[in-house]
């Protein structure tokens, strides 16, 4: 029993060698974040998800650790769509070399697809959506002019 407990503790704090640790993800939003980042069953690296962890700042939070992943700035900011308080830690050789607070841009150009299946931006051109309201989130597609909420985007 004691041995099992120790094992679980180690798993929870296990460090990654190279990759990203996304902290302060809104509770239960980790799967939505992975979806936004395009991480699915074809991703070759190890992905660890910790959900509903007690956090001093925001009640419960999720943490995602992705081994072997590098992230561009627009990819980092995409996370703000479902987790505006998230921080992205870039890890190299087991050390955090950079910390980014995610920031929702005013314009999402080529970041996410328009959820409207018949929108022309899904067939040609680069999808462009404008953030009209941060909380609760509302974005408008510049092509079909429809407005979408967070639930519709993730």
Binding site for Zn ion (CB under 5 A): 114, 116, 119, 141, 143-144
In the complex, the smallest distance separating the C-beta of residue 36 from Zn ion, rounded to whole angstroms, is: 17
State the minimum distance, in angstroms, from the CB of residue 31 to Zn ion: 24
Q: Which residue's CB is nearer to Zn ion, number 50 or number 144?
A: 144
Question: Closest separation between CB of residue 68 and Zn ion, Å?
Answer: 33
Of residues 30 and 141, the one with the C-beta less far from Zn ion: 141
Least separation in angstroms between residue 99's CB and Zn ion is 34
- How does DSSP assign the chain, residue by residue? -HHHHHHHHHHHHPPPSSEEEEEEEETT-HHHHHHHTT--TT--S-EEEEEEEEETTTEEEEEEEEET----HHHHHHGGGT-TT-EEEEEETTEEEEEEE----SEEESSS--S-TT-GGGTSS--EEEEEETTTTEEEETTT--EEEHHHH-
Which of 49, 144 has the CB closer to Zn ion? 144
Task: Decide whether 133 or 152 has the Cβ nearer to Zn ion.
Answer: 152
8 A C-beta contact, residue 127 and residue 139: no
């Amino acid at each position: 029993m004691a041995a099992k407990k120790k094992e679980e503790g180690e798993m929870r704090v296990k460090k990654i060698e190279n990759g990203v640790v996304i902290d302060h993800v809104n509770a239960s939003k980790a799967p939505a974040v992975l979806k936004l980042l395009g991480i699915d069953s074809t991703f070759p690296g190890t992905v660890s998800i910790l959900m509903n962890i007690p956090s001093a700042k925001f009640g419960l939070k999720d943490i995602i650790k992705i081994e072997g992943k590098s992230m561009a700035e627009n990819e980092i900011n995409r996370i703000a769509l479902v987790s505006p308080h998230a921080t992205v830690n870039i890890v190299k050789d087991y050390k955090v070399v950079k910390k980014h607070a995610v920031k929702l841009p005013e314009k999402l150009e080529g970041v996410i697809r328009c959820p409207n299946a018949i929108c022309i931006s899904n067939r040609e051109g680069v999808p462009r959506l404008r953030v009209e309201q941060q909380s609760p989130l509302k974005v408008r597609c510049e092509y079909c002019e429809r407005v979408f909420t967070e639930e519709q985007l993730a």
